[in-house]
Amino acid sequence: MIHVATISQAAIVSCLRAGGCNLRFVGRAEDEIRIDAEDALGAIEGLEVRRVFGGWGFYRRGLLFAAAWEGEFRFRTRQGRHWIYEVVDRELLGRPDEFVSVARGILARLEAEPAAARTGKRSDPARRGR
């Protein structure tokens, strides 16, 4: 089951610009989620994990498709004109085949979305968060 988060990408950007977000703090919950998700998503070629907005961003070839943030794993999706991060049922991380299948579906939709824009960054393996 996927629940829709109420915060948009615009809200995150606003928070960052206002200086109200603590980018240095990544909690234990986010670290545990990152480890579980990174292990489960290991079948996705080109997976990169980077620190983002108080959590971890999951990228494939520079395209942000998910995040471990505010104690939840979330897939990035588009709702109308806004980017949202949909909360994923934590139990899905324990079903790697299904989890990877859902992630690949999210990636396919994002790759077809011109506004999804890849970042120009390419992290080196030493910075992957492991």
Where along the chain do its domains lie?
A: 2-120
pLDDT in tens, 95-122: 999 999 999 999 999 999 888 877 655 4
CB of 58 closer than 8 Å to CB of 49: yes
Q: Give the per-residue pLDDT at 19.
A: 46
Tokens of residue 38, six digits? 């990174």
Q: Where does the chain have alpha helices with state H? A: 9-18, 28-40, 96-111
Q: What is the rounded distance in angstroms from the CA atom of residue 21 to the CA atom of residue 39?
A: 28
Q: What is the rounded distance in angstroms from the CA atom of residue 99 to the CA atom of residue 84?
A: 19
Fold of 2-120: Yope Regulator; Chain: A, (3.30.1460)
Q: Is the model more confident about 97 or about 13?
A: 97
Q: Give the per-residue pLDDT at 119.
A: 63
Please tell me what DSSP assigns to residue 24: T
pLDDT in tens, 48-92: 999 987 899 999 999 999 999 889 999 999 888 899 999 999 999
